[in-house]
Structure 1
Amino acid sequence: MKNEEGFQSGKRRFLVLARVGEDSLHREWIADDTTPRNWDLQLNVYAKDHSLSFDGDLPTVFDYGTKWDSIARHFKANPELLDRYDYIMLPDDDLRMKSADISRLFDIAVEHDLTMAQPAMTHDSYVSHEIVLRVPGFRLRYSNFLESMSCCIKSSYLRTLLPMFERHFTGWGTDLIWTMLMEDPAFRAAIVDEVPMVHVRPLYSGPIYVSFTKDGIDPRQEVRLLTSCFDNYSRFKHVYGGWLTNGRRVGDFETRIRNAIALLRIAPRMQHPRRTVFKSFWLVVWAFTKAGYRPEQLRAIAGTEMALLGLGKRASVARGEADSVIDASATRDTVISGLEENSMATPPTFQSLNLPS
């Protein structure tokens, strides 16, 4: 990792640390210089052409690793950033966002005392999880799931997650658990509908997948490894309350019904309309069957990697029993099995992505 110069003191409270390459859209984020920003931009570059122009408020860093191990190295080399900034956003470089919207995301995170937040995705984006699609009328929806491509994280919590990023650099699976590793996770993570973003790159086509091919890595195994570390992990992705744009707070039932209606309205325009309708169906079901749902802190099984890292609550399971639980968990695919509520109709395979299975 190459740091071009020492870091200078900043006056803004928030940081956007973006992993970017030659085709990055980050210049769109700072194109509007008429509106003051409350955030600094720093670029962590995976492009090998140093002659390219990269804009940022802090010195550009060159690191040719994958996103999450590079981020871990970045903060290990510059831990003062975690003290200087209250929240840090870690966006991919294929997101279309506006400067004022990013500022608004940080403001909402502070206003609602969120530990984690992400912009909502527009319907014309390439979408993996329908739950993060924008729902008109909402300021935010509380959720137990936030995607890894654009998450904004309170710096104090990000510090606790860095060891996981360092060891699980594919990023697969971390976004399934990271909102529930904190103590008392209810109402601490939210999809911010007031702040839209567009994901412009087709799924599974970024540079990281080239590196998976080169290194013979199957990131699905990372998912199985991570999720099997907890005895109360659930694959289902929920919304369970929110705030409307008129300032009214709504509960889990109204949030799910409004979300379901919004998905039905946009389903014909989606790349996977059946999958979108399927998610809408489950939201209606859960409006009646999951009343009062609140996410709980994940319990790490003794002896597992997450327990050794001190992530999640320690489960009261004997080591021998834990080993049998891990072995059993490893035999099932918790991500693409059965009727996972928001999986693809045909789960992606590495053959279809021109990657080794």
Structure 2
Amino acid sequence: MQSSCINLTQAARHVQLFRIDGHSATWVKVSAPIASCRIAVGGYDWAIDYYPNVYYCNESWIKLGFTMASDGAARGVVATFRCRLVDQSGVLKPSGEKTLSCTFSYGLTKEVHFMRRFDVNVSGYVQQDDSILLECAITVLLDAAAAAAAAAATTTSVAAPPSDLQRHFGEMLRSQKGADVTFLVSGESVAAHRCVLAARSPVFMAELFGDMEEKDSERIEIKGMEAEVFRALLHFIYTDTLPEQDEEDARTMAQHLLDAADRYGMERLKLICADKVCAGISVDTVATSLAMAEQHGCSKLKARCIEFILATPANFQAVAATEGYKFLTDVCPSVLNDLILAIFARYKPFRCS
């Protein structure tokens, strides 16, 4: 006996990215949404409202409202909404989803208490520019007429293959064809292309096409950097990705690349490296990571390090006994003031009014 699969339902799906700038400034509790958008899915209009701070279960939460905004809808429409946080730097995997399924009619609003604000603040999804990015997927179950219209629309378009720009630039770096500048790094020669470097780094732009002496040089010496780190920097410049390494080597490389990224004004690489360092924080590494965050202006990494150190008295005692803590006090003594202020902020006694 042969069996076959019959598709009894059809649906339209749309994914909407919802960027919230100034996340830290949205802590004030308000009854109205601070951001909204309206999109069309499955032949109907839908509104998404963002509430930054609502009181729910005795805590502060981020809430989303979903509304069917099509006037004159004759009957109920079945739709599903899925929401999650995504990392704009491309390092972290998306957060867990919150899902809502319901039969909607015109003007019906359903609310989703998405995530506690505290969990968002410590999740790693808040970018250095204080923004977060929500991904909202909307799936609408179609009736026969709507399904036929959607099928007709999809048959008229052909999906383009995924971009292979990174592969081509990576091959150009590997082959060194057309390379017009050579760098001397720790005694090793590394060839590259001036235009690519200048397009990706404002520092390379100034060195190679500005008024600096390197402008007319065919060989440029890079001091204070290992050849392996410089090659990893070039790999990111050409492909926008980090070299493939095991987890431990990748975290070690991230520490060196963080310094290189700051040195060459590459903010995206700096954020990616800071996130990798942040993910590897431990008693043995947190002090040096904090010094690194202070030296390179990585506010999120600095906050995460201080949070780790002050999580428990045992943590603080263990960190204070490490060689890294001694290094921190020698190199960045100003950070100790931040630690003291954080201790007072955390443990200050309540005052009676």
Q: TM-score under structure 2 normalisation? A: 0.26
Larger radius of gyration: 2
Which one has a larger percent helix, Structure 1 or Structure 2?
2
TM-score (normalizing by structure 1)? 0.26
